Amino acid sequence: QVQWVESGGGLVQPGGSLRLSCAASGRTVSTYRMGWFRQAPGKEREFVTTIRWDGGTPYYADSVRGRFTISRDNAKNTVYLQMNSLKFEDTAVYYCAARSSFGLGTTAQEYDYWGQGTQVTVSS
């Protein structure tokens, strides 16, 4: 059984940066496509970004493209989300997710495994 644990969330001012990590335990995750989603209070879970098992073809939601960067280190079983130029509207619980099948995967339903989430709050 693989478990994913997110960390790195917190409180940051607008324009600031945070780096989230998603570490897997229990099994290698090098064959999974990984994604990040977020959910703000009262809203549905929203796609943020995804990356292929080998680190190729990262894909971003329009709302974060140019500000966020996804990466992974399969040797460490960890996926990262570097978030720069943060805005108020980036405030949400951020979740990492893993997908075992092929395909881009931009909806929550396409992912098989989830972390517990980490809170990101952008506030002045």
Supply φ then ψ for residue 123, to 5 degrees.
-155, 150
Mean pLDDT of 103-116: 92
Supply φ then ψ for residue 13, to 5 degrees.
-80, 155
pLDDT in tens, 16-36: 999 999 998 877 777 889 999
pLDDT at 31: 81
- What is the pLDDT confidence band of residue 120, given thresholds at 50, 70 and 90? very high
The b/e string for 86-106 (b: 16+ C-beta within 10 A; e otherwise) is: beeebbbbbbbbbbeeeeebb
Q: Which of 11-15, 61-65, 109-113 has the lowest mean pLDDT?
A: 109-113
Residue type, 49: T
pLDDT in tens, 40-87: 999 999 999 999 988 888 999 999 999 999 999 999 999 999 999 999
Note whether 53 and 73 are within 8 A (CB). no
Q: By CB neighbour count within 10 A (0-12 exposed, 13-18 middle, 19+ buried), where does 116 fall?
A: exposed
Q: Which of 20-24, 101-105, 109-113 has the lowest mean pLDDT?
A: 101-105
